[in-house]
Structure formats: structure tokens, C-alpha cells
Structure 1
């Protein structure tokens, strides 16, 4: 039985004045091999909307929990791969997110992004309601790392 693979990448930028996402770019790896910016609308295929909701829910929980810990984000980059059976049943969800801190933030704020805080955010990302509603049989792996300074 063959599988289908869906790949996305995400990049968001964050400002000191408003740590919510200033800019968000989500791209889909099309069959043509090109990365296509996603602008969901009524003409977006429904299954792609579902996959985008998985990705964006993870991103939302990451940013919200970084804000809760007052971690000065500059940028979040993510890759997201979903594998389905040939009949579109989810089998695997793999995401990897990388945080870049604001280099202009004071040292005490940068220090908040320690191993415990990253582990906290990772745990909280697992509470994303879209991901929690995936069937138990779906293999899920979401990782989070801090970019080197």
C-alpha cells in the first residue's frame, strides 16, 4: 500500500512591542516541487485546511506559552510532515520547531529560555486541541529547539 506525504514549512517573526506574530508565512510543498505560500480560503482543499489547522494550532500554543513565560521571541521556524495512507487516513505527524530569541533583549529575559522552559512549552504544545483529537493510532512527534545564539 502506498502512502501520501504532505510537507509544510512555517516562519513567523515577533517584535518586542507585541510578541504575537508580526508576520506569518506558511508554505506547502506542491507536487511540482515548488513551495507555495498558503492563503486559506473557501477554495483551499479541505484536507489541506485540516493539515494547516494542525500546524497552526501547534504554532499558536508555542507562541502563547513562550509569551506566558515572557520569552523574547524574534523568530519561529517550523517544518511539518504528515503521512497518510493512500486513502487519506492519517498515519504520522512529524513537526520540528526552532525558536530564535531576540538578540536585543536583556540578558535576564534571554535566560528565561532555559531547558525547563523549552520542555514546558513542548508539553503545553501537546495540549493543542486539534492534535489531541487525532486518533490514538496516529504516530505523533513534535520537537522544539532553541536556535544557537
Structure 2
């Protein structure tokens, strides 16, 4: 009987240790809890740091809308860019920044919805301390998708103005 109790206690401890390690891994790597797969690494010419894109809704002539998910590692960000018909960003996890040209940089958090007006220079990405997962929606794709511009400088990224 004592052996059986000891075995049960030992197995219980092993299960708790495994569960704690899994929770630690998920806390250090939020993409393990992601709704969508991480996706493909974005082109270095369009991003500073690592950003991964996963397409969700392919463009077609019926919906004329492109939808995808982007996971930004800490400090990763897009270049300045614009969309002919604007863009909608929905923050799914983490924290990030977005900035419309001529306006102060804004913090964005899980649950935020950002509407970027048509043909407005802007950038977005993760904060220095947290990764960011966002969904993007590009409407009216018959007008085009994106025009990539110059990288966001470190000074622009860290500036609150």
C-alpha cells in the first residue's frame, strides 16, 4: 500500500512539473498559443526584425479583400508603407505600436482595432518588450495592395511624437 501511494505521488509530481514547463514555454513564446500558424518570414527589405505572415483570405474578384495574420517578434516592425484603399488592423495578442505619418506613435494592445485611411503613410510592429500578433484586412484590392517605402529608423520607432 505504501508503495502505491508513493508511486501516485511521484506520478502526480511529474505531471505538475511537465505542466509548469509547458506554461513557462508558452509564456516565453506566445506563438505556441496562436490562433493561426506563424506563417512565412517577411522580406528583410520590408521589415526590421522578424515578422511572419500567414494568409487567411486570398484576394478574388468576388470579395476584393485580402486578410492575413502577422506575428512580429519583439522590436520587429514594418517599413513605412501605404495602401491605396486603406487597412484595418485587429490586435489579437501582445503589444505593438502604429504610427500614421505626422501623428504621434500609438500603443496598440489585444482587442484594439485600428483603421488606417487610404494612401496614408504608416508603420506598425511590436514593442521592445512584447511580441505582437495582428490581423490585417485590405479592402477594395482592385485598387492595389501595398506600396513599400523606407525603413522606420530606430529614432522614429522609439519616439513618442
Give the TM-score category using the shorter length.
under 0.3
TM-score, with length taken from structure 1:
0.24
Greater C-alpha Rg = 2
TM-score, with length taken from structure 2:
0.23
